[in-house]
Amino acid sequence: MNQKNDFYKETFTSKEQKAILKRLLSYLKPYIKPLIFALLTTIVATTCFVIAPLIMRWLVDNGLTTQGVHMDIIIRGACLYALMCSLYAILRFFQLIQLKRLGFKLCKDLRDALFAKLEGMGMRYFDQTPAGSLVSRVTNDTEAIQEMVNEVLSVIVSSIVMIVGCVIAMSFLEWRLAVFCLCFVPVAVLIMFYYQKLSTRYYLTAREKLSQLNTRLAESISGMYIIQVFNQEKRIASEFAKTNDEYYQASMKNVRLDGLLLAPTIHLLIALALAMMLTYMGFQSFAGLASVGMVVAFIEYIYRFFDPMFQIMDRLSIYQQAIVAAYRIFFILDHQEVAPQQDAIENAKIAEGKIEFKNVSFSYDGKHEVLKDISFVVEPGETLALVGHTGSGKSSIINVMMRFYEFTKGEILIDGISIKEYPIEELRKKIGLVLQDPFMFYGTVADNIRLKNKLITDTQIQEACEFVQADQFIDKLTGAYNYQVSERGASFSTGQKQLLAFARTIVTNPKILILDEATANIDTETESLIQEGLQRIQQGRTSIAIAHRLSTIKDANKILVLDNGRIIEAGDHESLIAKEGVYYAMYQLQKSGAEKY
């Protein structure tokens, strides 16, 4: 839980921020050349922009003298000025594109890295982390970082160059005025500091409120029928109104803060600096020392000097957001919950399919053991049925067998070799799992059977479907195997999905079959198809099944009755019935369940 709280952390000390930023910038290493190129472009562009007012001064002072107007100087000056500004504009264009490219590249790299990391995580991680939040990390947080590189990096570099350049140019013209202008820097920094502090807080609140608002709205829309049937429209609406109002208040705080500290303040500072400069120049003129060109140039410099400050302040929230985002991304990248590791012997192959559990214990959380000292053997071609109540450990046996989780004690052997010593590819190829709730991907029916394995041909797919008798309903679909599966296979019944899952597994022709039989909502017609399918796919394969169907159980070579993580009874159907123990009781309850009503 503690870790989770950490994950949603939103404020960081400057030391933490620095560390995060440093690590983030390290991702730019592969792009060091284009980065340097972009920065050089920025420096050249900004220099052009800083030089332009000097030309203006020269033009005014030499072209528009009290003695008369020198058109040649004016034209030359104007062209030179235009050249500088155009150079600035064009270079800036390329610099922007270059930096954006970097930002998008970085964003792609982070996304790929995150996704690869996620694919390698153990199942436990996905049990604990809601999918929505992971998607946010992969898409939105990386976007926030990209925005920072695009917006902040270029602005910071160009702002620094601009401010330094302006100071140099100004001191070249009139060092006293440059010193005056420098006096504004601490003031601006102070304002920036306060603005950053407040705006971060307001910004985060507003964002938080907006996300609350949208979550509420989405949830209320999906659950509107519940709200209506339970007559809670008024209450839910008034709660919504409250959050809505809180969001408004938070937005207004932002508006007020921006209104006070952002653009208007910078404009005020500019006015102050102008007033100072004019006063100084006025007094200089009494001594006959001022020049009009100087005034004109200084006006331009003052704008160029203060504008970067505004640009930086305007983007502080982006930076803040990126730090939060980067923190979360690194949190995932640093996560240790990797999938169980193999200690593979090369070329180890599963030939027979004999499965042996030797004193296997397993725990999800490290505290409560859900499997305790489990031992059993399944001979090649045999079927083992697991029965027991919810939480008895049936699914856990499958989970450790599939290497979704690492077991804590004991050994699992396949054909006499530890399951850890097979290359993971071999295990995946030879062990087929049929999930209870078969997940359907976006794509065609064929895509959903082939998955990403391009070696599987269309004929193989058709054969697999015929084998499990899924072809009957597939042929009726428009486009048959090319039928587009809608969102999560919503247009299929659970039974149909189950048949597709059989086909998906059978097409890879596994040696060992693990079955988590579906229970819910299968209409009884499809049910008999599934029964047949089940029997067909189990032929010639070793299988372990979490069994809900009496037929599976009866035909199994061996039945394990689990309770609380232990095997309490084992044997075949007849022997267990004869024993008149737990299995017998369960069987009676199932068989004739509610006949007593």
Q: Does 483 bind other proteins (CB under 8 A)?
A: no
Q: Does 486 bind other proteins (CB under 8 A)?
A: no
**In this chain, which of 35, 51, 107, 157 binds other proteins, going by CB under 8 A?**
107
Q: Does 79 bind other proteins (CB under 8 A)?
A: yes
Residue carrying the six token digits 């140039």: 297
**In this chain, which of 32, 346, 521, 574 binds other proteins, going by CB under 8 A?**
521
**In this chain, which of 115, 175, 193, 194 binds other proteins, going by CB under 8 A?**
115
Pairing between strand 64-65 and 68-69? antiparallel
Q: Which is nearer to other proteins, 36 or 271 (CB)?
A: 271
The helix/strand/coil state of 412 is: strand
- Cα(257)–Cα(292) distance, integer angstroms: 38
Instruction: List strands edge to edge, sheet with 409-414.
Output: 369-378, 355-363, 409-414, 417-418
Q: Does 60 bind other proteins (CB under 8 A)?
A: yes
Given a contact cutoff of 8 angstroms between Cβ atoms, the answer to whether 562 and 373 are in contact is no
Minimum distance, C-beta of residue 102 to other proteins, in the bound complex (Å): 11
Which distant-in-sequence residues (6+ apart) come within 8 Å of 548 by Cβ?
Answer: 517, 518, 519
Q: Which is nearer to other proteins, 130 or 416 (CB)?
A: 130
Q: Which is nearer to other proteins, 344 or 424 (CB)?
A: 424
Stretch of 17-25, 62-70, 163-171, 185-193 lying at the interface with other proteins (CB under 8 A): 62-70
Q: Which is nearer to other proteins, 13 or 453 (CB)?
A: 453
Tokens found for residue 275: 């007033």
Q: Which is nearer to other proteins, 299 or 570 (CB)?
A: 299
Residues from 371 through 430 that contact other proteins (CB under 8 A): 387-390, 394-395, 402, 404, 424-425, 427-429
**In this chain, which of 165, 308, 353, 432 binds other proteins, going by CB under 8 A?**
432
Minimum distance, C-beta of residue 195 to other proteins, in the bound complex (Å): 14
- Cα(217)–Cα(224) distance, integer angstroms: 10
CA count, 13 A, side-chain hemisphere, 492:
29
Minimum distance, C-beta of residue 532 to other proteins, in the bound complex (Å): 11
**In this chain, which of 255, 338, 351, 417 binds other proteins, going by CB under 8 A?**
255
Size of the site for other proteins (CB under 8 A): 164
Binding mask 527-546 for other proteins (x = CB under 8 A): xx--x--------------x
Q: Which is nearer to other proteins, 97 or 377 (CB)?
A: 97
What is the residue type of 217? L
Minimum distance, C-beta of residue 175 to other proteins, in the bound complex (Å): 20
- Cβ neighbourhood burial of 285 (10 Å; 0-12, 13-18, 19+): middle
Q: Does 555 bind other proteins (CB under 8 A)?
A: no
Minimum distance, C-beta of residue 270 to other proteins, in the bound complex (Å): 8
**In this chain, which of 187, 338, 451, 578 binds other proteins, going by CB under 8 A?**
451
Tell me which residue of 36, 35, 55 sits closest to 47, measured CA to CA. 55
Given a contact cutoff of 8 angstroms between Cβ atoms, the answer to whether 320 and 200 are in contact is yes
What is the residue type of 18? K
Residues from 188 through 247 that contact other proteins (CB under 8 A): 213-215, 217-233, 235-237, 240-241, 244-245, 247
Q: Crossing angle of helices 524-538/494-506, nearest 10°?
A: 10
Stretch of 175-183, 291-299, 564-572, 574-582 lying at the interface with other proteins (CB under 8 A): 291-299
Minimum distance, C-beta of residue 139 to other proteins, in the bound complex (Å): 5
Residues from 124 through 183 that contact other proteins (CB under 8 A): 126-127, 130-135, 138-139, 143
Which distant-in-sequence residues (6+ apart) come within 8 Å of 178 by Cβ?
Answer: 167, 170, 171
Q: Does 584 bind other proteins (CB under 8 A)?
A: no
Given a contact cutoff of 8 angstroms between Cβ atoms, the answer to whether 294 and 285 are in contact is no
**In this chain, which of 28, 192, 296, 413 binds other proteins, going by CB under 8 A?**
296
Residues from 314 through 343 that contact other proteins (CB under 8 A): 339
Q: Does 67 bind other proteins (CB under 8 A)?
A: no
Q: Which is nearer to other proteins, 281 or 556 (CB)?
A: 281
Tokens found for residue 81: 């000025």
Instruction: Give Cα separations from 428 to 199, 227, 382 (angstroms).
Output: 52, 46, 20
Q: Does 282 bind other proteins (CB under 8 A)?
A: yes
- Cα(265)–Cα(310) distance, integer angstroms: 9
Q: Does 564 bind other proteins (CB under 8 A)?
A: no
Tell me which residue of 379, 375, 404, 407 sits closest to 123, measured CA to CA. 404
Binding mask 12-41 for other proteins (x = CB under 8 A): ------------------------------
Would the CA dihedral through 234, 236, 242, 248 be positive or negative? Answer: negative
Phi, psi of 365 (to 5 degrees): -110, 5
**In this chain, which of 40, 164, 275, 345 binds other proteins, going by CB under 8 A?**
275
Which distant-in-sequence residues (6+ apart) come within 8 Å of 182 by Cβ?
Answer: 167
Q: Does 366 bind other proteins (CB under 8 A)?
A: no
Instruction: Give Cα separations from 528 to 148, 269, 592 (angstroms).
Output: 58, 82, 19
Minimum distance, C-beta of residue 422 to other proteins, in the bound complex (Å): 11
Q: Which is nearer to other proteins, 24 or 530 (CB)?
A: 530
The helix/strand/coil state of 516 is: strand
Pairing between strand 369-378 and 355-363? antiparallel
**In this chain, which of 92, 497, 558, 573 binds other proteins, going by CB under 8 A?**
92
Q: Does 453 bind other proteins (CB under 8 A)?
A: yes
Minimum distance, C-beta of residue 324 to other proteins, in the bound complex (Å): 16
Would the CA dihedral through 136, 142, 143, 147 be positive or negative? Answer: positive
Given a contact cutoff of 8 angstroms between Cβ atoms, the answer to whether 171 and 298 are in contact is no
What is the residue type of 93? F
Q: Does 460 bind other proteins (CB under 8 A)?
A: no
**In this chain, which of 13, 32, 68, 186 binds other proteins, going by CB under 8 A?**
68
- Cα(419)–Cα(262) distance, integer angstroms: 63
Minimum distance, C-beta of residue 311 to other proteins, in the bound complex (Å): 12
List alpha helices for 287-404, DSSP H: 292-314, 316-333, 394-401
